[in-house]
Structure 1
Amino acid sequence: MREPAGGEDLWRRRLASPWWRGAMAMAAGALPAPAFPEPSLWWWAYVALVPWLLLVRSAPTGRRAVLDGWLGGAGFLLAVHHWLMPSLHVFIVVLALLLGLLWAPWGWLTHRLLHGRPGPGRVAAALVLLPSAWLMAELVRSWQYLGGPWGLLGASQWQVAPALRLASVGGVWLLGFLLVVVNVAVTVLIAVARARTVALAGLTACGAVAAGVWVWEPPAQESGTARIAVVQPGVVQGPGPRFERGAELTRQLAGRRVDLVVWGESSVGQDLTGHPELSRRLAALSRRVGADLLVNVDARRSDRPGIYKSSVLIGPDGPTGQRYDKMRLVPFGEYIPARPLLGWATSVGKAAGEDRQRGTRQVVMRLPGALRIGPLVCFESAFPDMSRNLVRDGARMLVVQSSTSTFQRSWAPEQHASLAALRAAETWRPMVHATLTGQSAVFGPRGEPVGPRMSTGTSAATVYSVPLGRGTSPYVRIGPWPVYGAVAALAVFCAAEGGRALRRRTDRPSDGPPDQRADQPTPGRP
């Protein structure tokens, strides 16, 4: 028998060490991060999970696989959200470890289906169940109180045209499901020789789905255009100087025949009802430009208690009465969940000193000329359901007002802008992503870029000729059906596992043969 080489023996010893193995699990979980902006190595997402899968399947026990799944999930979240560290400091590690627990069941299932030398049946099940379990982890963490759906695996494909066509059918969820299928299939090709045919069949099925959508599903159709101006003041300290710079850039749009001027998040720092002079100035800007202004007020309201972030439409006579109050707030950035328990986060990072208040409903605004827009505020562009709801309510254009100035020199601005491409492709509606400090960008109804992107070093007002989409995409019409399918697949698996366990318990041999026990005399009787 061949003795293991020195390097191979060292590798085995390190895999056997819980500390080394834990570090490798976190590192393997972090590997998908370069697929997201800023690097945007989209092709890397198709194999980035393979080292993690190989590590988990090699776990000596299911319990160890659960730990590998947990630590890998924490590593993934830390890598994709590393730009939050300057704001949350050590608290981001605590959050990553807590949310990483969502991948613990995925780790157990990977070990259950791929450990050892699985046959074709187990591998076929893995090609369905492991992507389903991944979607469940993403779905749970997408809850706004757990941080929201930032960094979903499918979002790494925002610039790939065939992937965006798939998004119009099944949303970002379908993209994530297929990416995990590919990673599982590649893992099987590497490690499970006896089931390579099944893995190749899985890859072929993924290709067939993509090709089928490309051939049979019509792309989004255009129907007219709208001229939208995005005002990006750049890095300006303080709400007053920021307002003045926005007003200066807006005045430059006079005579350029725009349909709407969009300012970024927190572009107005005082309540318009309590400061009518601001309303008068904004109305004068609207008259000068010949178009309505969509501004964003971040201030304490005079008509109700608390601070709100609100999209407010301004016409030539002042506020039009159309207003949207942000509904989904950024945890720790705009409020602290369970503040009596977690309020200490304000002492270790830039957490919210006072909770913002939430709006209660989404709003579709009507512009002169009958164009209907659906406003979102910053973090809300990460939620697929919010864009879908606005389009179902009649929005022909989506507009997100954002500010990532806190994370100016990080991956955050580009990551945020890329989400607009996905939301546009999912809904067949263009999305305007307007920020205070960049990156501002516009995407057409197929998720394609429209005009130049305004970088983080830009202070300007840019006019975009935005193509409008028509029709209803399958994703808007049907909803997140890949999630429903994943739930059904896991439910069937759990039922089968439960039935198998029940049969094993029923078939377990008794302490003695039944006939022998029946013939034994009762104690005390002859």
Structure 2
Amino acid sequence: MKLPAPLRRPPRYASLAAGALPVLTFPAAGLGWLAWVALVPGLELMRRADTGREGAVRGWWFGAGFILTAMYWLVPSVGPGLLALAVVFGALQGAVGLAVQRLLHPPLTTRRAALALLVVPSVWVSTEFVRSWHALGGPWALLGSSQWEHPAVLGLASVGGAWLVSAAVVAANTGVLILLAGRRPGVRAVAAAAVTAALLAGPLLFAVQSAPAAGDRATLALVQPGEVADPAARFAASERITERLHGVDLVVWGESSTSTDLDRAPDVLARLERLAAATGAPLLVGEDARKADGRISKDAVLVTRDGVAERYRKIRLVPFGEYVPLRPVLGWLTGISKAAGENRAPGAAFHLLHTTDRSGRPLPFGALICFESTFPDMSRVAADQGARMIVFQSATSSFQSSWAPQQHASLGALRAAETGRPVVQAALTGESVAYDRQGRRLAALGTGDRGALTVDLPLAEPGAATWYQRLGDWVPYTAVAVSLAAASGLRRRRAPQPEPAGPQPAVSAR
């Protein structure tokens, strides 16, 4: 019996395993430094492929291994659907494998090495950008987010978002691969220069940025009741923690901290109004409830002593967790997993919420709900609208024992560096965390903690803007343009040359 081709190709299995290696750079493993070389084994397997097609297949297997490992915690929500996600999204990395094989196969020239240092990071960022489209799932596990612990490296994010950090990390990996594979001095010189530039670019940008000036500050309390399954008991636990708070400008509860529609539950609203009066600060609570129209939605609700002041409804829902894409086709997953039994209702558009601090100064802020913290563009829109800080509400109890809560909390560092706004996240079961305007972590409550995390935040100045806020997603769009240009050049080189038309002149024998 003849085995299928994939079973006769051990390098493909090695590529699958190599795809898991970069996941060690994310929390909770926390080996962020490894990101600068973690891709090298997988890239080497792609480089050694005999053909461009085989390089693309190895890239596909590498991508599937990455998705399976980075998102293993989704198994309770999507069940065997995770394998399908790995196959689909892994296919995007086939473009990386093709680029690596075409540009870095031996014998390696200086020209092809230089092209690879531009094209390979561009193709990688393009694949991240495609799978980050919210209709396809969203930007979870971007390679650039592995550098969340290093504010100096996040200087890149202030100019080009997480995308530029990803590009620098991939460029460094590509350069290391060329240093190991190249033999010519010119090839190695180009690679060494690229690695040096990738490593130094972030710290240099961080150094030239002006240090955050002393200015207005706000004191926030993030309430974390811990693992309490019953909604009423969870509300009561948050209530007890809040009663002990004083001298704060805003109290933030996590996502789904109340399961009642506050517009139709005067008794629950009255309890929150009393808390706001007792603490002297408004409360931002997470409402996960069926509304008057019969549909369930998730809202961030700002409650003062006088009642509901403002609310924002989550607009980007979690695939399978809060809605099932193509439910008529994929609805069967709800019978074998914890996928959403019914689709939540999304909001129409993002908008700021507004309150004042204890001295009466306006305090506009962006309130984003859980999964929305993964999207760079949403925090950028909040900054564009005038937010002086960004607040995330989260609930990750379904994945409490996995790596997901730590990785989710780490994204606040990227959003802070990208927007120049301080970021906080209040999570029901952890991690609750706070970052300053450059992505430095100020304080945190882990998944095993309960209580309130009180933090004094230096606010962004009105009108302040980072380069990323001004320029937007110029990095992924540039990467797509470079990738398309490289693909066009590859097609031209492979196209057969046309035969000369008409009779050819006779050639003298002399």
Q: TM-score range by the shorter chain?
A: over 0.9
2: CA distance between counterparts of 1:212 and 1:236? 46
Partner of 2:226: 234
Name the stretch that deviates more: 266-275 or 377-386.
266-275
Counterpart position of 1:349 = 337
Structure 1 residues 125 and 374, CA gap change in structure 2 (3 angstroms): same
Q: How far is 1:271 from its partner?
A: 0.5
Q: How many residues align?
A: 494
Check if 1:365 corresponds to 2:353.
Answer: yes
User: Aligned to 1:201, what secondary structure does the other structure show?
Assistant: helix
**How far 1:131 moved relative to its partner?**
0.2
Deviation of 1:279 after TM superposition, in Å, equals 1.2
* Alpha-carbon distance, 1:239 to partner: 1.1
Q: Secondary structure at the match of 2:19?
A: helix
Distance 1:71 1:222 in 2: 50
| Equivalent residues of 1:103, 1:134 under 8 A apart | yes
Q: Per the alignment, do residues 277 and 48 of structure 1 end up closer, same or farther by CA in structure 2, a change over 3 Å counting?
A: same
1:465 aligns with 2:456: yes
Distance 1:281 1:208, change over 3 A: closer
Gaps of 5+ in 2: none
Contact 1:264 1:401 in 2 (8 A): yes
**Aligned residue in 2 for 1:312:** 301
Does structure 1 conserve the Cα–Cα contact (< 8 Å) formed by 2:121 and 2:171? yes
Q: Measure how far apart 1:509 and its partner are.
A: 5.7
Q: Structure 1 residue 489 and structure 2 residue 468: aligned?
A: no
Q: For 1:94 and 1:366, locate their aligned partners in 2 and report how far apart those are by CA, in whole Å.
A: 42
Q: Give the deviation of 1:499 after TM superposition.
A: 4.3
Question: Which segment is superposed worse, 381-390 or 483-492?
Answer: 483-492
Determine the C-alpha separation between the residues in 2 that align with 1:459 and 1:217. Answer: 37
Given the alignment of the two structures, is residue 83 of structure 1 paired with residue 73 of structure 2, yes or no? yes
Mean Cα displacement is larger for which, 275-284 or 82-91? 82-91
Matched, 1:285 2:257: no
**How is 1:307-456 mapped onto 2 (pairs within 5 angstroms)?**
307-320=296-309, 322-368=310-356, 369-451=361-443, 453-456=444-447
The Cα shift of 1:209 comes to 2.6
Q: Could you tell me how far apart the structure 1 residues matched to 2:9 and 2:484 are? A: 34
Alignment of 1:208-219 (within 5 A): 208-219=200-211
CA distance in 2, matches of 1:398, 1:44: 30
Alignment check: 8 A CA contact 1:165 1:219 kept: no
Question: Distance between the aligned counterparts of 2:120 and 2:457, measured in 1?
Answer: 40
Runs of 4+ in 1 over 6 A off after TM superposition: none
For 2:152, what is the secondary structure of its paired residue?
Answer: helix
Q: Distance in 1 between matches of 2:190 and 2:50?
A: 25
Tell me the C-alpha RMSD between the 2 structures.
1.8
Q: Letter of the aligned partner of 2:25 in structure 1?
A: A
1:522 is matched with none
SS, match of residue 234 in structure 1: coil
1:298 is the counterpart of 2:288? yes
Partner of 1:523: none
User: How far did residue 498 of structure 1 move?
Assistant: 4.4
Distance change in 2, residues 1:16/1:357 (3 Å):
closer
Please give the alpha-carbon distance, in whole angstroms, between the structure 1 residues aligned to 2:90 and 2:80: 15
Aligned partner of 1:133 among 83, 106, 123: 123
Taking the aligned partners of 1:20 and 1:499, their CA distance within structure 2 comes to 32
Secondary structure of residue in 2 paired with 1:494: helix
Instruction: Report deviation, 1:491.
Output: 3.3
Is contact 2:432-2:453 (8 Å) kept?
no
TM-score (norm 1): 0.91
Supply the AA of the counterpart residue of 1:250: T
Partner of 1:479: 472
Bigger Rg, structure 1 or 2: 1
Structure 2: distance between partners of 1:61 and 1:275: 65
Maintained 8 Å contact 1:123/1:198: yes
Match of 1:8 in 2: none
* Deviation (angstroms), 1:335: 0.4
CA distance in 2, matches of 1:492, 1:19: 31
CA distance in structure 2 between the partners assigned to 1:233 and 1:335 by the alignment: 26
Identical aligned pairs, as a percentage?
Answer: 45
TM-score by length of 2: 0.93
8 A contact 1:132–1:486 mirrored in 2: yes
Could you tell me how far 1:203 is from its partner in structure 2?
1.6
8 Å contact 1:222–1:468 — kept in the other structure? no
**Alpha-carbon distance in 2 for matches of 1:491, 1:56:** 20
Tell me which residue corresponds to 2:26: 36
Question: How far off is 1:193 after superposition?
Answer: 1.5
Offset of residue 287 of structure 1: 0.5
Deviates further, 218-227 or 427-436: 218-227
- 290-299 vs 343-352, greater mean Cα deviation: 343-352
Preserved contact between residue 326 and residue 359 of structure 1 (Cα < 8 Å): yes
Q: Indicate conservation of the 8 Å contact 1:127/1:184, yes or no.
A: yes
- Give the partner amino acid of 1:173: W
1:147 aligns with 2:147: no
Question: How big is each residue's C-alpha offset from its partner over 1:47-89, in whole Å with a ceiling of 9 and x where there is no partner?
Answer: 0000001000111111111110111101011111122223333
SS of 1:246's equivalent in the other structure is helix
Q: 1:462 to 1:204 in 2, by over 3 A?
A: closer
2:157–2:417 Cα contact (<8 Å) kept: yes
Give the stretch that moved more between structures: 69-78 or 490-499.
490-499
- 2:261 is aligned, of 263, 271, 275, to 271
Q: CA, structure 1 residues 207+87, in 2 after alignment: closer, same or farther (shift >3 Å)? A: closer
- Give, in angstroms, the shift of residue 19 of structure 1: 4.0
Cα deviation, 1:379-413, whole Å, max 9, x if unaligned, reads 00000000000000000010000001011111111
Specify the code of the residue in structure 1 equivalent to 2:88.
L
Shift of 1:260: 0.4
What is the aligned partner in structure 2 of residue 92 from structure 1? 82
Alpha-carbon offset, residue 501 of structure 1: 4.8
Question: Of the candidates 104, 109, 115, which is equivalent to residue 114 of structure 1?
Answer: 104
Match of 1:72 in 2: 62
Per-residue CA deviation, residues 181-240 of structure 1 (Å, 9 max, x unaligned), is 000010011112122121112123324533541343324444221010111111111211
Give yes or no for the alignment of 1:193 onto 2:186.
no
Tell me which residue corresponds to 1:7. Answer: none
Letter aligned with residue 134 of structure 2: Q
